[in-house]
Amino acid sequence: MASSSGSGLTFKLHPLVIVNISDHYTRIKSQAQHQQAAGDQACSNGGESSSLSSFSSVPPPRVFGCVIGVQRGRTVEIFNSFELVYDPVAQSIDRTYLEKKQELYKKVFPDFYILGWYSTGIDAQESDMQIHKALMDINESPVYLLLNPAINHAQKDLPITIFESELHVIDGIPQLIFVRSTYTIETVEAERISIDHVAHLKPSDGGSAATQLAAHLTGIYSAIKMLNGRIKIVQQYLLAMQRGDLPLDNSLLRQVSSLMRRLPAIESEKFQDDFLMEFNDTLLITYLAMFTNCSSTMNELVDKFNTTYDRHTRRGGRTAFI
């Protein structure tokens, strides 16, 4: 691996790529820790203490994926990424899955191309070159984006490294090696708003896993739980009076009856009108989406028919169907 690249390419990295890779690594690491805990529990229940050390020594798995974007001249802009299926035994990626994901992204983002791939780790490894070479049939000069999950909070730089591949002659043998490239963070207004929102949902400085969203959902859960408990108390009290275990309290029964009369308030005429209006708007949006899809399909059919018809009628000089 060389220290710096001499290709002269300018790399612009969008924050969405970093968020996607971090989310991919976090999910895989969480699943691995859950499986490790389950394995430790099974070993402790079975009395196999010798296997406990093997579970606890398992390193967090690496994640792999592709980065997509556009290249305009000497400027390479990485917009997005998607995950890949990696076989650790064969040390190769699932090409069928890659081709399927590439086809799906082409339908949504026709201007985006596969620029390279990403992984996690402290530094590039020798096995990474095999994956790098396997992607050269898609992009003759792919980029390799490496995320270091061992974040040093004292270091202000992002734990992201972008590698290019260059052909160098080493001991008289031409070999591909990784070379580091510089990059800048490029963002748009929508990404800045999203990243700012995600930043506000980070864990607190005290190390607690609670976030604003978790606190909000916890508050709603507590309110529903309290309401459910109080309704059960009223129900048990009414059942006790019905069985004759408690004396009738007409004042309390009137309060319960008044409370129950408030429940059908949602069945008012105004609610029905508002509900039907929202329902009709939703159906209208669904119908418009269906009509748009049908129009697109018909447009493709007409284009294919024009191409085929024009091919047969060009000799006779007739006009193709439009």
Whether 183 contacts 162, CB under 8 Å: yes
How many other C-beta atoms lie within 10 A of the C-beta of residue 135?
21
Per-residue pLDDT at 52: 43
CA–CA distance, 29 with 27 (Å, rounded to integer): 5
How many other C-beta atoms lie within 10 A of the C-beta of residue 198?
13
Residues of the chain with pLDDT under 50: 49-56, 205-210, 319-322
Per-residue pLDDT at 312: 66
For 259, the 3-state DSSP assignment is helix
Per-residue pLDDT at 64: 92
- What pTM was computed for the model? 0.56
Per-residue pLDDT at 265: 60
Q: Rounded to whole angstroms, what are the CA distances from 279 to 74, 268, 272, 274?
A: 51, 16, 10, 9
CA–CA distance, 216 with 198 (Å, rounded to integer): 15
Per-residue pLDDT at 266: 62
Sign of CA dihedral 176, 178, 182, 187: positive
Per-residue pLDDT at 256: 87
Structure tokens given for 99: 């081709």
Per-residue pLDDT at 226: 92
In the chain the first and final C-alpha atoms are separated, in Å, by 58
Whether 256 contacts 250, CB under 8 Å: no
Per-residue pLDDT at 145: 93
For 136, the 3-state DSSP assignment is coil
Q: In terms of residues, how long is the chain?
A: 322
